[in-house]
Amino acid sequence: MALLYSAPCYSLASASKLKLKNPNNLLSKTNSSTNVHLRGLPSYGNGNVYCSLIPKIVKTGVKIVEAPVVSLIDGLQPAIFTPPEGDLKKEDFPPDFLFGASTSALQTEGRGDEGGRGKSTWDFMIQASQGKKAVDSYNLFKEDVKILKETGLNTYRFSIAWPRILPNGTLESGVNQEGIDFYNKFIDELIANGITPIITLFHFDLPVLLQNQFYGFMRPNIVEHFKEFADLCFEKFGDRVKYWGTINEPYVFGSYGYKMGLPGDLKNDPLGPFIATHHIILAHAAAAKLYKEKYQKSQGGKIGISLPCKWYMPHSADPKDFAATKMQLDFQLGWYMDPLTRGEYPESMRKNVKGLPEFTPSEKELVKDAFDYIGINYYTSRYVKHTCTVDAMSGVINIKYAEQTADDEGNVVGPQAKGQEDIYVHPDGLKNLLLYVKTEYGNPEVYVTENGMPDKPTITGSVNDMIAQGKTAELEAAFYDDYRIQHAHDHLVAVREAIKEGANVKGYVVWSLMDNMEVGAGYDVRFGLNYTDYYDNHKRYPKKSAKWFANFLQAENAKGSNN
């Protein structure tokens, strides 16, 4: 999804009471000695990328070098690749490791009304009235499967649009058979091409009528409605789907997205995020329990949830910054992982959030262990600083924990992404986050369900028109995404190293398969391995990064191929 977020900032009585299970877990190894964590980072966008495709013989003095070359589109200069440092290879990962790409229905499927689909609370972002159709995957899903296979990816994480299956949100109001048929065809096409589907049941697109009638996740009614929607999906698709994700990025939706369409008094309720999140956790757990009890034995699948999290590091060696860092992790990752592994919210939340909902004994039993795997969506890292302000006139002392992009010596967490200013690239953050989950939460089965790199190239026309007009520089800026290859390489290295240290990581899924409508950023920001031509019927074209993945994964089309 790539919608960035910050953990809430709260005034606290004291940070000294926080207990750190293992403070060393909060420190990146790259960060363990002074002024070293930037020196080892690659320079993004420097053009140094590897792709073993067509060797081009280049004479440099007395040496003869074989430089791999790939032609992406007729009319553009062939791309020449040189390798980054490192020995990353597919064989570094277990034979059953899942390598995939991720998207969501809201961002890819289409206008929002085709095929009998009902209205979603976030449909306005598609901009259908301006001719935008997300990337029209509703009609081009076979093309999506084709590029997955050509890239060598063995899994595809996508979502089912709730209003496509239940246009008015409830089973009682009617099932849209056309929607059922669409997803059946999609799933069958994936499986026929050897691609494992990972299906997310809810990726932000709540049916409007549920939002209007029950204020969405602000009312407990949503738990039963989500459970019946999940039940229908398990029944219709579960014979072929072996990986289910209930709710994507509940932290993002529970903190911000749930407000869509709410009246002002509910939208501005300071307890709103905690109430919405409480119902999200219960909805997830109800669906997970249903699957485990009714379907898992016969269908043989797994169910989990995808949680977004930055990696956090202390701003300085001050113990208060260590406490602040643990607090920040509690309020983002622990908000969900503690209930799922321990049956209750983190101690820091229970102590400091007045009015925090509580789980009843039966709800604790429902929530605890309500997963087979955990998905981690990781994009960036931050330092965390403990600050204290005193208002001498009122006698009020405020202690806050604030995110920082640099530490106390001015070392920036990593290079800033060109396409989204909130993303600072820090591959070590992924490794340390995976190891933190291992240590703090009993080493559950984990999949990196989102990780990606944005760009924001200037595009003024269709691919064909720009080539005809000689505007090849625009296309090269978008297609020759060397920084994205370096990003994927370095984060895969981070995953590999986490596995070596015992993290139970089973897959890596990049965001995203193709450029699409980015929530909060529209169509200008591009995360895709494949280029989407919004000026020419959403045609897809592979970028350098797609070719690199094909070569890394040893896809058939990458062996001795130049296209």
Confirm whether 450 is a catalytic residue: yes
Query: Please, are residues 50 and 68 in contact by the beta-carbon 8 Å criterion?
Result: yes
Query: What's the CA dihedral at 524, 139, 563, 89 to 10 degrees?
Result: 80
**Which one of 249, 363, 403, 518 is the catalytic residue?**
249
The residue among 370, 324, 367, 330 whose CA lies nearest residue 346 is: 330
Helix axes 221-237 and 272-290, enclosed angle (nearest 10): 40
**Which one of 150, 440, 450, 497 is the catalytic residue?**
450
The dihedrals phi and psi of 448, each to the nearest 5 degrees, come to -75, 105
Q: Cα(97)–Cα(451) distance, rounded to whole angstroms?
A: 16
Which residue in the block uniquely carries the two structure tokens 């004291």? 14
Confirm whether 235 is a catalytic residue: no
The residue among 354, 364, 372, 375 whose CA lies nearest residue 281 is: 364
510 bridge partner residues: 101
200 bridge partner residues: 159, 245
Q: Cα(495)–Cα(498) distance, rounded to whole angstroms?
A: 5
Number of alpha carbons in the 13 Å side-chain half-sphere of residue 460: 9
The residue among 169, 171, 170 whose CA lies nearest residue 207 is: 169
If 0-12 CB within 10 Å is exposed, 13-18 middle and 19+ buried, where does residue 251 land? buried
The residue among 217, 428, 396 whose CA lies nearest residue 312 is: 428
Within 10 angstroms of residue 91's Cβ, the number of other Cβ atoms is: 8
Query: Please, are residues 270 and 207 in contact by the beta-carbon 8 Å criterion?
Result: no
The residue among 134, 38, 34 whose CA lies nearest residue 412 is: 38
Is 323 in a helix, a strand, or coil?
Answer: helix
Which residue in the block uniquely carries the two structure tokens 């009471």? 17
Report which residue type is found at 391. D
CA 349, 355, 360 angle in degrees (round to 5)?
80
Is 155 in a helix, a strand, or coil?
Answer: strand
What residues act catalytically? Answer: 249, 450
